[in-house]
Amino acid sequence: MNSYEYVNVEIKDKVGVIEFNYLKKLNSLSECFIKDILKALEDLNVDEIRCIILQAPKGSKVFSAGHDINELPKTHRDPLGYQDPLRILTRTIQRYPKPVIAMIQGSVWGGAFEIIMSTDIVIASDKSTFAMTPVNLGVPYNVVGIHNLIRDAGLHIMKEVIFTATPFSAEKALKIGILNHIFSDDELESKTLEIANLICEKAPLAIAVIKEEMRVLCEANTINPDEFERIQGLRRYVYDSLDYQEGLAAFFEKRKPVFIGK
Ligand code: YXS
């Protein structure tokens, strides 16, 4: 079953495996790649499938290089608007009526870190690394995205993760509550499938409603309209800034950015 260009889908009993097949762009989250993941999720949303595994190919050095920086707006436009493919994918995973497991091999960057934080269970190779990178580029990450990041690990921990934007180990990710398990590369696939198969034996309707209850409760945060508009105004100041343009330019020119706070 493979009517997709950028993912390979395999069904293992009641488990739907979506394997990334966009290595030419290091599985960066381009619109075309995300469209295929969304289509695969839609196609696998059938009664016979009880659990989903998102994974990169075995032995991948990069799980995903994050948002496709070529697709970030150059300036004067919200880089993470509601209809951005990355935003659509996180919402789809969180609302998906079956557990979605992220099985990680290789390095996880930026928007891909938020994607795995939006899945239900995160299982990683002991050699994988994680980095949340908006401050490398000067990107004013969006409110929902930040909310997705600060629910699992402690606030001080996530502030250091985001403000330093430096890759950290699977061991640290496990310790701070981002990962459910770490396994050796040899065991990763079999152990992840074991957990997925265990889920497949349980009552799917109860799982679906409890997952949705957890999402609704986790998102039950009040933020008054004035505060939200104030934050949006602050974000606009950032994506209109020279620093935002400098961050993108430095990436493409393969040099260290020089941020001036303007
Ligand atoms: O020089 P060419 O044309 O071959 O292109 C290079 C890279 O520019 C390109 N590339 C990307 N293109 C678009 N978006 C990306 N995220 C991206 N990452 C890489 O791929 C070609 C090969 O990259 P290269 O030579 O660096 O490969 P490598 O094996 O030496 O290193 C792999 C990485 C992933 C360690 C390295 O490419 C890297 O650090 N990439 C950037 C990772 C990152 O910072 N991602 C965040 C994207 S922005 C995002 O997710 C959010 C908006 S936010 O910033 O808010 O978190």
> Does the reported pTM lie above 0.95?
yes
Q: Contact at 8 Å (CB) between 97 and 211?
A: yes
- The type of residue at 136 is N
CATH class given for the domain over 1-185+204-262: alpha beta
Among candidate residues 93, 99, 94, the one with its CA nearest the CA of residue 15: 99
Please tell me the predicted confidence (pLDDT) of residue 152.
84
Whether 166 is in the pocket of ligand 1, judged by its Cβ within 6 Å, is no
Q: Which residues are part of the catalytic machinery?
A: 67, 111, 141
83 CA distance to ligand 1 middle (Å): 22
How far is Cα 199 from Cα 50, in angstroms, rounded to an integer? 7
Domain boundaries, the chain: 1-185+204-262
Please tell me the predicted confidence (pLDDT) of residue 54.
98
Query: Order of strands, edge to edge, in the sheet holding 107-109?
Result: 62-64, 107-109, 129-131, 168-169
Whether 110 is in the pocket of ligand 1, judged by its Cβ within 6 Å, is yes
- Nearest ligand 1 atom to the CA of 62 is 34
148 CA distance to ligand 1 middle (Å): 22
Please tell me the predicted confidence (pLDDT) of residue 1.
52
pLDDT tens column, 176-199: 999 999 999 999 999 999 999 999
- Nearest ligand 1 atom to the CA of 252 is 8
- What residue ranges of the chain have pLDDT lower than 50? none
